Structures are given as C-alpha cells and as structure tokens.
Amino acid sequence: METSAVASTLRDWFMKVGDPLVDPFPNRKEDEEHLLDNHSSSINPWHGFFDNVSPSSGHCSNKNVTYKGQLNDKGLRQGSGRLFHENGDELNGWFDNGKPSGDVVITSPRRDISRLIGTYRDGCLNGRATMVNGATTVFECFVKDDVPHGPVRQIHMKKFREFRRQITFIGHHRHGIPHGVCWEYREGGGFLTGVPNAEGKFTGEQITYVYPDFETCWHGRFQDGKMEEGYPGKIIDYRFERDIMVVQLNVDRRGKPTRYCLSTKSSMGEDLLVPDPYETKWILCENSLVSGAGDGVFARRDIPKNTIVAFYNGVRLPFVLGGPKEDWSTSGYKIFVNADFKSGERMNIPLEYVSLENYCATLGHKVNHSFEPNCTEWFIDHPRFGVIPCERTSKDIKTGDELFLDYEYDPYNCPEWFEGALRSFVGDSSEEQLDHLNDRYKRFVSHEIVDEVR
C-alpha cells in the first residue's frame, strides 16, 4: 500500500477516535474480560467503602459520611440520594438497601476528580465509565470491580498557546495497566506505539515513535518512552486488533542506531551529523534567496499549512533572573523553547555548529527571517532531543519555495541588522503589507516617526 495512503488512513483514524461523540470500540465483547488480580489500582474513591455494609441490615458502621436522600421503611438508603464523606468525596446516584445501584456521579477533590460517571453493579463500578479531572482530561474506559479493565481512551483539552481537544492515549488496560498495542501522544503531534511492559511503560525492543506525518518513524528499543536504540523507518501498512490500529513498518537498519540524548548547557547531544528523517522528507538547505543571508531552507515538495517542517536543537540555556545584557554578537541563534509559561529556557547554536559540515541533525537554525513569514515557531517532544522549538508552516508552501520565520525580536533590543531590515521593510512596503505587520513593530515604527518629527 502507498505510504501516503496509509498515513492518510492513520490520520483519519485519530481524528475519528479523538472525537468525543464517536465510540472508538464498537466491536468490544464482554467475554474479553479476565479475572482481576489482587493488586489492581482502582479509579473509584469509594472503592471498598461499601464492603462493610451488612447484607442483612443494609447498615454501614462508618461514621465519616453524611447521607441526604430517600430512605425505605427500614431507614436504609433507598432510591435517589447523595453521600458525603468528610474527606470531600461525594457520591450522587441511586441506592438499594444501603448500597449504590445503577448510574452514579462521583466527585473527589483530593484525587482531582471533577466527576466520575459510571454504573454500580455488585457493589462496584462495572462497565463503561468516564472520569474528568480538574485539568479537563477525559478518561473513558471499561471498568471491572472499580478497575480499568478493557478499552481505554484519554482526551485532553489543550490550553497552552491554542485551545483544542487532543487524544493522548488509546488502547486497552488489564488490571488497571496499559496492555496490548497502545498509542500515546507526544507534544507536537507525534505518538509512541507498541506493547507496554508489565508496568505499563513503553519499554521494550519493538516500540515505535511516529512523527506528525503518520509516515516517518523511529523503531527499536525504548526505555520508559525514551529511545535507546532506534532506526529510521516508514509506515507501509496497517491492520486492526481489538479496534486498535497496528502498523507495519519498513525499517532501515543499515546505519548505526541512534538514541535519545537531551542537550545540556555545554553539549548539543550525540550523532550531530545524522540528519533527521522527517526533516529530510520535507526540506533541504541551499543558498538563501536573501542577499547575504548564507544558507536557507527550501521545500522539497508541496507542504500543507500547519505542517511541522524543521526542528531547532541546540545547547540549553536556563533562565537567569537579572542576568547580563544580551550580547547580539554571540546571541544570534538563541530562541525560546516556549513549551510552557514558566521555565524561560532557551536554545542556542554555538558558532562552531552553525555550519552544516559540523551539525545537520536539525535544520531549524537555517530558516531565515522575514517580516512576511510562511512559518511560525512551535515546539515538539522530539524522539532524539526532547522538547525543542520547531517551525510550522503558516500557509501552503510550494515545492522550491524558501521557508521564512519572523524572529520577533524586540525592536528596542535587537541586532543592528534587524532594526535596519525593519526600517527598510516599512519604507518599501505597501499599506496592505504594513497592515499584516506584527503589532510590536507597528508601535516601534510609529514611536520612531513621532520622535523624528519632534
């Protein structure tokens, strides 16, 4: 099967199973269940609480709860009611002879559960259940005796730099632990897939990291989600097992394997001359069309809007409060990781690694600046380099087009060439072009004009 067709199918499948209105497990059968062991982890804050309810009297000796609701003629909880625990847990639902029976809604601030919706049978949650935590992560599963045991889907509401739903896990659990072929999301659009080990970790010899194109991948030995010995490959086919897509790969083992190696303040990492297979698919470096800019990055093929195309690895520079003033002679390649609001961590390319002869593992540092960019800065959890910046297209790009990024320097604290380029752009541009100019540049230009008039 054509790799592009497989990638399209995989992308469509993730869009489908990531839709909360779609049942991702239409073929599930009850007889797939297995007996639980004694060490399974429960998701129910009330797990075991009703074990001490007397089957004859229906009374519970626990004095740490308050009940509001209907009672039967024996004074037992019967019908609709709400049960409050002094630890903050609450159970709202239907009771029969003192115990929950049927559909319930559970909340537990101490366990960050905004609501847990399920069905009580035989004194425990059994069947379908949906749990939502305070960060609006929705965990949908089948449970047996309060424990995830069967199909599982997790969807997270992303709120950093964009607002969208993202499926972050799909697969199966057994005894509360991921089991069988599973998929787990990685920031930036990639996924880990494979069979987790007995602890539910992506550890083993047959784990795959899939890039955001759903075609390019690294395959090999991983330890707790980190690549220890990986080879590049492509997804060439697929099949379904228990409603989960299982991919078939063509792995290139001719070269030396590579591994995850997070850069530090003094080290760029390992295998610095091993190109990234995903970047190689989309881009190449040639002389820039910008006079005096040196190398530039160009599209190897037509690239759709919102496609990650280049990565930016470098040495990691932690934020230093009250640090020295920026020296732009040595800071031309510094860029914020921008993976969160707090760290302030930046990447930098030491001068000895600017040349492709010394470093070509990522090419994001070769994307030149423009006030009319066709890319924007983003971030990704990369299989070799961890969380790093990357470039993502902001419009459709044709084969042979050069990629550009607005560096977004502060006009009052920037390299001399940048201020000169900004002034030239403003002087040579039409009103329509200026309308699309970054607001910070507009404010700078307007202030400069006022100062010149004065």
Residue identified by tokens 């509360």 is: 176
| Weakly modelled stretches of the chain, pLDDT under 70 | 1-2, 29-39, 53-63, 160-162, 322-332, 338-343, 447-454
Q: Could you tell me whether strands 315-317 and 147-158 are parallel, antiparallel, or unpaired per DSSP bridges?
A: unpaired
User: Any idea where the domains of the chain sit in the sequence?
Assistant: 3-251, 277-408
| Per-residue model confidence as pLDDT tens digits over 399-454 | 999 999 999 888 888 888 888 888 888 888 888 888 888 888 888 777 664 344 33
Q: Which of 44, 71, 46, 47 is nearest to 59 (CA)?
A: 71
What is the residue whose two structure tokens read 């759903």?
Answer: 214
- pLDDT given for residue 340 in this prediction: 59
223 close to 425: Cβ distance less than 8 angstroms: no
392-412 exposure pattern, b = at least 16 Cβ within 10 A, e = fewer? bbbeebeeebbbbbbbbbebe
What pTM was estimated for this model as a whole? 0.90
Q: CATH assignment of 3-251?
A: 2.20.110.10
Run of H or E including 151: strand 147-158
Residue 454 pLDDT: 36
Q: Are 47 and 124 in contact (CB under 8 A)?
A: yes
The 10 Å Cβ neighbour count of residue 105 is 14
**Residues in Cβ contact with 442 at an 8 Å cutoff, skipping those fewer than 6 apart:** 434
DSSP 244-294: EEEEEEEE--SS--B------SS---S-TTS--HHHHHHEEEEE-SSTT--
pLDDT for res 57? 44
Give residue 47's pLDDT. Answer: 92
439: tokens are 């607001």
- CATH number 3.40.50.300 given to 277-408: no
Q: What confidence tens digit (pLDDT) does each residue in 50-96 have?
A: 877 654 444 555 668 899 999 998 888 999 999 999 999 999 999 99
Specify the pLDDT at position 320. 72
Residue 453: per-residue pLDDT: 34
